[in-house]
DNA sequence: ATGACTGCACTCTGCAGA
């Protein structure tokens, strides 16, 4: 099973690269974030024609998450359980069959940015992470092959950012944000990328501004967290860095986790 | 060089993103 996550920064603006990505890389499951459209405006026919089933939690202008699957989608949870999202579409979960009797539980997550930190936006970010952690704790008890994938808007460690000092006061890198990340992973989830590499400078986001891409001033904020049953099967992780170099790219690139 | 962008909407300016 090849599972990918990608914050597309508007699915309508990214339709051509999205369809090309599906055709070229053929993920079994793709989690999308920042659709920036309501369900009625989602390019469902195009995605279905590419061979994918779709479930999504849309919203006008902001947020929006989807799960695309080549295999049947058997069960869906829309919205993060236990969290009053105040109308923000940031979580969808589905149980996907692989057609051979195995199931995968997968979530597509768009965690809040949280800037500026001295505002209610930061409290909202931490509240989301607390609710996500509680739900993730409940999911572990199922002892299933589970992948919690998405844009967490958290830089876990110094090695995940080009200039730690420059990001010290940012909501993505504040100690409380990183502590929230550790509380989640410490439950027993494996950060897929860190299971295969200790290297610094493996980024998934480069700002559109100030030549961040050209100067490789990136950050790693898109993550796939694996339940123990999923981690047992992890064979490969890939950050599709080339996606940032195309025409009209998203500011995020896709990340793959392959399960044997 | 403390610069530089992109997408969206009650659009031609302001907000959000990270």
Which fold is adopted by the domain A2-259?
A: Deoxyribonuclease I; Chain A (3.60.10)
Beta carbons within 10 angstroms of residue A71's beta carbon: 18
Annotated binding site of A: 7, 34, 151, 153, 251-252
- Tell if A251 CB is < 7 Å from nucleic strand B: yes
Mean pLDDT, chain A cut into blocks of 10 residues (260 residues total): 97 96 97 96 96 97 96 96 92 91 94 94 96 98 98 98 95 97 98 98 96 95 98 98 93 97
Pairing relation of β-strands A222-226 and A190-191? antiparallel
- pLDDT confidence of residue A86: 85
- Tell if A61 CB is < 7 Å from nucleic strand B: yes
Among candidates A42, A89, A93, which has minimal Cα distance to A69? A93
SS3 letters for A46-99?
HHHHCCCEEEEECCCCCCCEEEEECCCEEEEEECCCCCCCCCCCCEEEEEEECC
Annotated binding site of A for Mg(2+): 7, 34, 151, 153, 251-252
CA to C1' distance (Å), from A62 to B6 = 13
CA to C1' distance (Å), from A212 to B18 = 12
Domain ranges of chain A: 2-259
Active-site residues of A, by number, are 110, 151, 252
Q: Which nucleotides of B are covered by protein (CB under 7 A)?
A: 3-9, 16-18
Measured between alpha carbons, how far is A155 from A63 in angstroms, rounded to an integer? 19
Alpha-carbon dihedral sign for residues A200, A205, A209, A213: positive
- pLDDT confidence of residue A202: 97
- pLDDT confidence of residue A85: 84
- Tell if A167 CB is < 7 Å from nucleic strand B: no
- pLDDT confidence of residue A53: 97
- Tell if A211 CB is < 7 Å from nucleic strand B: yes
Among candidates A237, A253, A150, A156, which has minimal Cα distance to A204? A253
């Amino acid at each position: 099973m090849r599972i990918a996550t990608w914050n597309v920064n508007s699915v309508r603006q990214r339709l051509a690269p999205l369809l090309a990505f599906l055709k070229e890389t053929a993920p079994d499951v793709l989690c999308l974030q920042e659709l920036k459209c309501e369900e009625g405006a989602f390019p469902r026919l195009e995605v279905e024609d590419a061979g994918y089933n779709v479930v999504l939690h849309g919203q006008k202008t902001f947020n929006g998450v989807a799960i695309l699957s080549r295999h049947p989608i058997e069960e869906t949870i829309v919205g993060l359980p236990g969290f009053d999202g105040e109308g923000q579409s940031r979580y969808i979960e589905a149980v996907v069959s692989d057609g051979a009797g195995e199931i995968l539980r997968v979530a597509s997550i768009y965690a809040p940015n949280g800037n500026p930190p001295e505002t209610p936006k930061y409290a909202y970010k931490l509240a989301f992470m607390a609710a996500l952690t509680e739900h993730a704790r409940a999911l572990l008890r199922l002892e299933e092959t589970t992948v919690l994938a998405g844009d967490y808007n958290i830089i876990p460690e110094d090695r995940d950012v080009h200039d730690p000092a420059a990001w010290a006061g940012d909501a993505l890198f504040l100690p409380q944000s990183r502590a929230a990340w550790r509380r989640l992973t410490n439950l027993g989830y494996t950060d897929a990328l860190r299971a295969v590499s200790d290297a610094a400078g493996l980024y998934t986001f480069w700002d559109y501004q100030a030549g961040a891409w050209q100067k490789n001033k990136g950050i790693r904020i898109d993550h796939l967290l694996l339940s123990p049953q999923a981690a047992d099967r992890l064979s490969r992780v890939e950050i599709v860095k080339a996606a940032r170099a195309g025409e009209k790219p998203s500011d995020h690139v896709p990340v793959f986790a392959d399960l044997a």
